[in-house]
Amino acid sequence: MKHEDVAALSGWVIPMSKAMQANNIDVEQALDECGISAGDLENQECRIAIAKLAKVIDYCNARLPRKDFTMQVAEYFHPGMFHALGYAMMSSASLKDSLARIMRYKRIVSDACRLELSENGDGLMLKVITWIDEVTDEPTLGPREIEAFLATLVKFGREAVEADLCPLAVYFSTPEPEHGSEYLTEFFGCQIHFNADINAIVFDREQADKKLLAHNLMLTQSHEKMLDEYLSRIDKSDLANLVRCRIYERLSLGAPTQSEVAEDLGMSLRNMQRKLSDKGTSYKEILENTRKKLALEYIEQPHLSLGEIGYLVGFASVANFNRAFKRWTGSTPGEFRSSHQQAASA
Domain annotation for the chain: domains and CATH numbers: 3-208 (3.90.1520.10), 236-345 (1.10.10.60)
Confidence (pLDDT) at 1: 42
Helix (H), strand (E), coil (C) string for 29-80: HHHHHCCCCHHHHCCCCCEEEHHHHHHHHHHHHCCCCCCCHHHHHHHCCCHH
The answer for 251, left when phi > 0, alpha when psi is -120 to 50, beta otherwise, is alpha
Q: Which amino acid is at 89?
A: M
CB 136 within 8 A of CB 3: yes
Residue 22 is given by DSSP the state H
Inter-residue contact 169 to 138 (CB < 8 Å) = no
Supply the pLDDT for residue 222: 84
Say which DSSP state 211 is in: B
Closest to 300 in 3D by CA, of 310, 313, 309: 309
Instruction: Write out pLDDT tens, residues 149-183.
Output: 999 999 999 999 998 999 999 999 999 999 999 99
| Residue 190 CB contacts under 8 Å (≥ 6 apart), including other chains | 166, 167, 168, 169, 170
Q: Which amino acid is residue 93, in one-letter code?
A: A
**169-220 confidence digits (pLDDT tens):** 999 999 999 999 999 999 999 999 999 999 999 999 999 998 888 888 888 8
List, for the chain, all residue ranges whose pLDDT scores fall below the cut of 70: 1-5, 40, 42-45, 134-135, 234-237, 343-346
At residue 258, the pLDDT reads 92
Please tell me the pTM assigned to this model: 0.74
Whole-angstrom distance, CA of residue 194 vs CA of residue 176: 6
Whether the CB-CB separation of 241 and 235 falls below 8 Å is answered with yes
Q: What is the dihedral of CA 311, 314, 315, 316, to 10 degrees?
A: 80
**Count of CB atoms within 10 A of residue 18's CB?**
17
Q: Which helix (H) or strand (E) holds 129?
A: strand 123-130
Residue 124: enclosing H or E segment and its boundaries?
strand 123-130
Cα atoms found within 13 Å of the Cα of residue 22, Cβ hemisphere only: 14
Q: How far is CA 268 from the centre of its chain?
A: 32
CA 120 to chain centre: 20
Environment class of 292 (CB within 10 Å of its CB; exposed 0-12, middle 13-18, buried 19+): middle
pLDDT value of position 3: 46
In angstroms, the CA 171 to CA 41 distance is 32
Q: Is the dihedral of CA 154, 155, 158, 164 positive or negative?
A: positive
Residue 168 near residue 175 (C-beta atoms within 8 A): no
- Supply the pLDDT for residue 27: 94
